[in-house]
Structure 1
Amino acid sequence: MPAQRVCAEPGCPTLTSARRCDDHQRQREQARGTRQQRGYDAAHDRERERWRPRVERGEVDCQASTCVMPERRIQPGQDWDLDHTDDRRGYRGPAHRPCNRGWRRGQ
Structure 2
Amino acid sequence: MARRRALTVCSVSGCPELTPAGRCAQHRQQAEQQRGTARQRGYDSDHEQRFRRPVLQRDPTCVCTDERHGHGSPCGQPSKHADHHPLDRRALTAAGLDPNDPRHGRGLCGPCHSRSTAREQPGGWNR
User: Do Structure 1 and Structure 2 share a fold, with TM-score over 0.5?
Assistant: yes
Q: Decide which structure has greater strand share.
A: 1
Q: Decide which structure has greater helix share.
A: 2
Larger RCO, structures 1/2 (Cα 8 Å, 6+ apart): 2
CA RMSD in angstroms comes to 2.7
Change (3 A) 1:2 1:72: farther
Aligned to 2:46: 43
In the comparison of the two structures, how many residue pairs are matched? Answer: 96
Change (3 A) 1:74 1:39: farther
Deviation for aligned residue 1:30: 0.2
SS of equivalent residue, structure 1 residue 82 = strand
Aligned to 2:36: 33
Structure 2's unaligned 5+ residue stretches are 121-127
Q: Deviation above 3 Å: which 4+ runs of structure 1?
A: 53-56, 77-81
Change (3 A) 1:51 1:41: same
Aligned to 1:93: 105
State the AA in 2 paired with 1:87: L
Match of 1:61 among 57, 60, 63: 63
Mapped partners of 2:55, 2:7: distance in 1: 40
Mapped partners of 1:79, 1:4: distance in 2: 32
TM-score normalised to the size of structure 1? 0.67
State the AA in 2 paired with 1:49: R
Deviation for aligned residue 1:36: 1.8
TM-score normalised to the size of structure 2? 0.58
